Amino acid sequence: MRRVLVFGLVVGIVDGALLGASAALGWTWVAWAALVVGLVGAALVARAVPPPRVARPATVTLGLPLRDAQAAEDPAPATAADSESAPAVVEEYPVRPARAGEPTPAAA
C-alpha cells in the first residue's frame, strides 16, 4: 500500500507542477500533454492498488466452552432414541447474587 501512496504522490506533484507551469507560461500543447499524462498516471495508480484481503471469521466463545468433554470424546451422532433415554447434560456455573446498585452481568 505504501507503493501506491508514493506512486500517487509522485504522479500528483510532478504532473501538477508540469501542468501548472505550462498553463501559466501559455504552452497549450504541453498543458494538454501533461493532462493526458496525469490521467494515465492516475489510471496506473488505480491499477497498482492491491486487492482487498478477505476477512476470516473469528470464533467467539464468550468465555464458555464450545462443547462439553463427553461430546468431544464421543463423536457418534445423536439420534432421537438416544436423546429420550439419556438425561440432558446441564453445566451449572455458580452465580453470586447481585447487590443493590451493582450492575447485573446482562447489563455489564
Q: Other C-beta atoms within 10 Å of 34: how many?
A: 21
Rounded Cα distance, 39 and 70, in Å: 65
Q: Does residue 34 lie within any of the structural domains?
A: yes
User: Residue 40: what pLDDT?
Assistant: 92
Q: Does residue 44 lie within any of the structural domains?
A: yes
- What are the tens digits of pLDDT across the range 66-80? 566 665 565 555 555
Q: Does residue 57 lie within any of the structural domains?
A: no
- Asked whether 23 and 31 are in contact (CB, 8 A), the reply is yes
- What are the tens digits of pLDDT across the range 10-49? 888 988 898 889 989 988 898 899 889 889 988 988 888 8
Domain that holds residue 33: 2-48
Q: Does residue 6 lie within any of the structural domains?
A: yes
When divided into structural domains, the chain yields a total of 1
> Sign (positive/negative) of CA torsion 75, 80, 86, 91?
positive
Place of cell 495508480: 45
E strands in 34-79: none
Q: Does residue 25 lie within any of the structural domains?
A: yes
Q: Does residue 66 lie within any of the structural domains?
A: no
Q: Does residue 78 lie within any of the structural domains?
A: no
Rounded Cα distance, 74 and 86, in Å: 14
CA 4 to chain centre: 19
Q: What is the pTM of this model?
A: 0.45
The residue type at 83: S
